[in-house]
Amino acid sequence: MLLLAGCGEPPPAPAPSVKPDAAPAVPAPAARTPSVTVSGDTSADAGLNWDAPQVQLSADGVRAARRDAAAALREGDLFEQPRDAIPLYLALLRLDPKDTIATRGLARAATALLAQGNRAVGLAEDDPQALARAVRIAAVLRTVIPADARTDPYLSKVDLAEQLARLNATGESQLRQGLLGEGEASGALETFHAVLELAPGQSRATQGLAATESAFIRHAEDAAQAGDFDGAARWMGFANGVREDAPTVDDAYTRIEHERARQIAALRDAAVAELVTPLGLKDAREKLAAALRIALPGDAVAADLRQRIDLATHYGLFRPGQAFTDGLKDGGRAPTMVVVPHGAFRMGAAEDEPGAAEAEQPAHYVRFDRGFAVSRNPVTVGEFRRFVQATNYRARATRRGHSIVYDERSGNFVRRSGVDWQSGYTGAKAIDDMPVLHVSVRDAEAYADWLAVQTGHGYRLASEAEFEYILRGGTQGRYPWGNESPPPKGVANLTGGNDVSPSGRHWANAFVGYGDGWWGPAPVGTFKPNPWGLYDLGGNVSEWVADCWHASFRRAPGDGAAWFNPGCRARVVRGGGWASSPQQARAAWRSSQDSDVTSARVGFRVVRGI
């Protein structure tokens, strides 16, 4: 019979060095004590050695004990209970150290235990209970077969498994605490790499690295969501260094760039919405600054927003070159307007310009910080008629009963009765698409004021600087078309040596070799537009501008505003016309006219602020 040891422990029996199919001598079990780490805490010290469950055995119980030990060995019950194989074989050897059956049984049990231990070590990576069992088995083998050639390798495997488990647990704890190991800091990244140096390819550490990478990516995406794309790039740099060619990192870069694009687009849309409000330009610029802080160099959306703000700064809701018309309260349409680009130019005549007068000097630079809109053509008879009919306005020539016309019979300009804004250059009735003539500067200002009331926008006459700016159209030659004389064919309605009046007259002072087919004014838009899409600036009719006459440009405004003195009577006429000499067709030419003068040579156009 087997009796469980309930009290008093006898001296330990000798333990054999186990080899398959051998029955060696059994040395004392305490012959050597290799180090076995059982767990990562201080309670492990109690498990460094194995205390076998004690069995009380008498001589008449040997047969039953052998039978029970063999059965336990077959079942794999090796060491944990008194009825398991190894405690029984040890009890038999204590009773009879020369028991060969017990010696061989113990050797087979040790071999089976090694197999169980190796299986436990194989499962230890993901199963803490398996690791604990592998450690317990290590303690048993260390006690039972310390000298066996298989014991030290197994103990080393257990040590490694325990070290890996401890490192993995540390890395996982660091990961939970957010100690990732970015930069020079110690953390999960370093810990999991240490595991993989000891066990390349270990799945638990590999998963830990993937989780660390994911944590870096989460930080990066959180930073991106907050608009901190420099921080996002920093976190992604850490993520990119975790594993080589990780598709998750590439996907995260894509998501972050999508987030960057989303935020920039949202800022662009919000800024564009601000631009339509009266005071929204400041807020739009702030949104542009925010977009530029997060945009990569060359970002198309940020560049588009910058362009929109620049355009809004200089043109409001318009674009340079844009043509538009404003509706009138009475249902009609205002003249077609063209948006002129902002910029700067040299106004006036150079000192060495042939034909220049002192009144055209000194040449000086004028800058327009904001664009403006100019009527595409001089105001026509039809357009002025709508104004007169709507307001019952009586123009100066109508009230006075006469104006200055061209007399074909004498070839001179003469005063003729019954002539007003409805008349052409000879005094005959004018058609609607002819430029309106026989209007004073005050008539022109009254028309512009009516447009302003009808449309709700700031219509007015052009300043002298604005007129020369648009007359030159971005060029700086002697004439509006450059320095060429005679002018290019068909450039404008000018005095040409080839022009012939209805009675066969020729101009005494004209561009030699030039002819445009018109003796008097032509319908608006007959000739080519200038580079900015404006017609009849350098020919057809001269035009009133808003400025008072000054004998020179000394102290003239540099911002392009009209140089106006309240109450002045002498006003400025600009631009060559159908009866202008070549000298008067120059871009810098200017003339003084009394504000009440009306004639067949002078019309006007309007400007609108934007």
Give pTM, 2 decimals.
Answer: 0.67
Residue 398, C-beta contacts closer than 8 angstroms, at least 6 positions apart? 420, 421
DSSP category for residue 608: E
Residue 428, C-beta contacts closer than 8 angstroms, at least 6 positions apart? none
Per-residue pLDDT, averaged over 206-232, amounts to: 96
- CA–CA dist 283, 274 (Å, integer): 7
Contact 216, 183 (CB under 8 A): no
- CA–CA dist 599, 437 (Å, integer): 7
Least confident of 12-16, 219-223, 249-253, 394-398: 12-16
Contact 288, 313 (CB under 8 A): no
Chain centroid to Cα 466, Å, comes to 37
- CA–CA dist 159, 172 (Å, integer): 20
Contact 259, 231 (CB under 8 A): no
Closest CA to 472 of 481, 484, 483: 481
* CA-angle at 346, arms to 341 and 350, nearest 5°: 150
Considering the chain, what percentage of its residues have pLDDT values greater than 70? 92
DSSP category for residue 9: -
Q: For residue 525, what pLDDT band results from cuts at 50, 70 and 90? A: very high
Mean pLDDT for the chain? 91
DSSP category for residue 350: -
- For residue 73, give both structure tokens: 């060995």
Q: Using one digit for the tens of pLDDT, what is the confidence trace for 449-502?
A: 999 999 999 999 999 999 999 999 999 999 999 999 999 999 999 999 999 999
65's enclosing H/E stretch is: helix 62-75
- CA–CA dist 170, 205 (Å, integer): 11
pLDDT at position 5 over 60: no
Contact 174, 191 (CB under 8 A): yes
Residue 362 phi, psi dihedral angles, 5° rounding: -80, 150
Contact 128, 35 (CB under 8 A): no
Q: Using one digit for the tens of pLDDT, what is the confidence trace for 57-86?
A: 998 999 999 999 999 999 999 999 999 999
Query: In the beta sheet, which residues pair with residue 55?
Result: 4
Per-residue pLDDT, averaged over 579-604, amounts to: 97
pLDDT at 245: 86
Q: Using one digit for the tens of pLDDT, what is the confidence trace for 42-62?
A: 344 445 589 999 898 998 999
Closest CA to 466 of 335, 358, 574: 574
pLDDT at 606: 98
Alpha helices in 456-510, H assignment, sequence order: 464-472
DSSP category for residue 233: H
Closest CA to 253 of 224, 211, 284, 285: 224
Residue 297, C-beta contacts closer than 8 angstroms, at least 6 positions apart? none
Contact 67, 87 (CB under 8 A): no
Q: Is 487 helix (H, G, I), strand (E, B) or coil?
A: coil
Residue 578, C-beta contacts closer than 8 angstroms, at least 6 positions apart? 425, 493, 494, 495, 518, 519, 520, 521, 522, 539, 540, 541, 601
pLDDT at 95: 93
Q: Cis peptide leading into 486, omega within 30 of 0?
A: yes
> Which CA distances in Å does 346 have to 78, 127, 260, 366, 575?
107, 87, 45, 6, 16
Q: Using one digit for the tens of pLDDT, what is the confidence trace for 178-198?
A: 999 998 788 999 999 999 999
Amino acid at 266: A
Q: Using one digit for the tens of pLDDT, what is the confidence trace for 555-582?
A: 999 999 999 999 999 999 999 999 999 9
pLDDT at position 276 over 90: no
Q: Is 56 helix (H, G, I), strand (E, B) or coil?
A: strand
Alpha helices in 456-504, H assignment, sequence order: 464-472
pLDDT at 48: 59
pLDDT at position 355 over 50: yes
Query: In the beta sheet, which residues pair with residue 429?
Result: 423
Per-residue pLDDT, averaged over 292-315, amounts to: 94
Per-residue pLDDT, averaged over 312-333, amounts to: 93
Residue 440, C-beta contacts closer than 8 angstroms, at least 6 positions apart? 395, 396, 397, 544, 595, 596, 597, 598
> Which CA distances in Å does 502 have to 158, 404, 445, 506, 519?
120, 19, 34, 10, 8
Q: Using one digit for the tens of pLDDT, what is the confidence trace for 148-175?
A: 999 999 999 999 999 999 999 999 999 9
DSSP category for residue 479: B
Per-residue pLDDT, averaged over 133-148, amounts to: 94
DSSP category for residue 335: P
Per-residue pLDDT, averaged over 596-605, amounts to: 98
